[in-house]
Amino acid sequence: MLSASVTPTAQGYYGPFGGMFIPEILKTTFEQLITAFKEAQRDPEFWESYVKFMQSYSCRPTPVTPLDNIAEMLGGHFRLLCKREDLNQTGAHKANNVMGQGLLVQRMGKSRVIAETGAGQHGVATATMAAKLGLECTVYMGALDVERQRPNVFWMEQLGATVIPVTEGTATLKDAINAAMRDWAESMEDTHYVLGTVCGPHPFPELVSYFQSIIGHEAREQVSKITGGALPDRIYACVGGGSNASGIFLPFVDDSEVELVGVEAGGKGLGSGMHAARIPARQVGIAQGYKTYFLQDEEGQMQHTHSIAAGLDYIGISPILSHLYDQGRVHFTAATDEAVVEATKLLIRKEGLIPALESSHALAAILAEASNFNDGETILFNLSGRGDKDIFNIAEAIGDEKWKDFIRKKATQL
């Protein structure tokens, strides 16, 4: 389903990145997962069953929507499109991966799933999958993320999942991943870890990108119909770990005429020390089971991250995207919190779409670079999630006094 250029070696490497750095106790579990995944990949009926399941349960294929109002505001010399992953079940691209892994869990005969989550969308999607397929579910979430993503925590609990706040470290996504890995080491006989992004030890980068590639495969056909046969000239996607970006990028990797642009979290600015942009420093490290570019100092110590978007403050980036960056196939930029808020407001007011703050990073980059687009170009970005979960953060960021008062009252009641 994916290009040979993004197929890992038997050891799980993409160029110098990736691998499988795991404790000995998990080796057998990973070997079982790799075997089950490879068997599923070779079975054409598995992919067909996955697509049919997503069509009947998760609003696939999600549409590609023209954003003519914003394009006209920016000069009208290019076509602007967005892939509507916000219309997926649970409101984000995360459903693609978890539903696929759920079908794998059934093939492996396991009865429990665990997951980590940052913005909460992966946690909600995993809890939804567990409810649908009759599995026990535990979700680990950084305590800081629990506070700023309360709506998603509520829905996870209503879906029957046990949500465990993680207070260690920075109390964000990387700490939730560590906690989930510890759980798995103690429960691997009946438990599968539904990793949420294209990071971690082999085979997770390949496995997650395999299911998320449904985004790009659909987009190829949809954009071609809109343009009369042409592919998009540029594709933008926000990048935390990189699952939505990989999903829309990888089916276009062999199309050299299509520029692929990943947008990291610029936070308060790249010189502020409060951001989550891994690519500018290009510090290679090994952590959480794999090798990639991490946000770390020269001694290899992981640095604190910041983003207005909870799903983009992860310390590492997909080994697949690191490899494609080194090859010059994917370009990277960053969008600041301030630019993201402005992009969010614009999309809401001009197009009537309410994006997740993560997704608005891609639009913010497009707004910053629009003057460089050639006449007649087609620009596509992945609207990877909707903004329901961000309502309090957005209200705080735009300075709505009525909503800020409401938030303060709610905070005192917690």
Active site residues: 94, 116, 384
Q: Which residue has the tokens 């997962």?
A: 33
Phi, then psi, of 97 in degrees rounded to 5? -70, -45
User: Running DSSP on this structure, what letter comes out for residue 288?
Assistant: T
Q: Are 247 and 213 spatial neighbours (Cβ–Cβ below 8 Å)?
A: yes
- Nearest Cα to Cα of residue 115 among 145, 85, 89, 147: 145
CA angle 257, 263, 265 (to 5 degrees): 170
Return the beta strands (E) in 13-161 as ranges.
Answer: 13-14, 17-18, 64-66, 79-84, 112-117, 136-142
Q: How far is CA 86 from CA 158, 215, 303, in A?
A: 21, 12, 31
Structure tokens at 244: 């939505």
Q: Are 125 and 147 spatial neighbours (Cβ–Cβ below 8 Å)?
A: no
CA distance 63 to 61: 6
CA distance 258 to 373: 13
Q: Which residue has the tokens 């949500």?
A: 163
Q: Are 132 and 57 spatial neighbours (Cβ–Cβ below 8 Å)?
A: yes
Which DSSP string do the residues of 192-255 spell out, in sequence order?
Answer: EE---SS-SSTTHHHHHHHHHTHHHHHHHHHHHHHHTSPPPSEEEEE-SSSHHHHHHHGGGTT-
CA 232 to chain centre: 21
Q: What residues pair up with 324 in beta bridges, in sequence order?
A: none
Phi-psi region of 19 (alpha: psi -120 to 50; beta: other; left: phi over 0): left
CA distance 276 to 237: 15
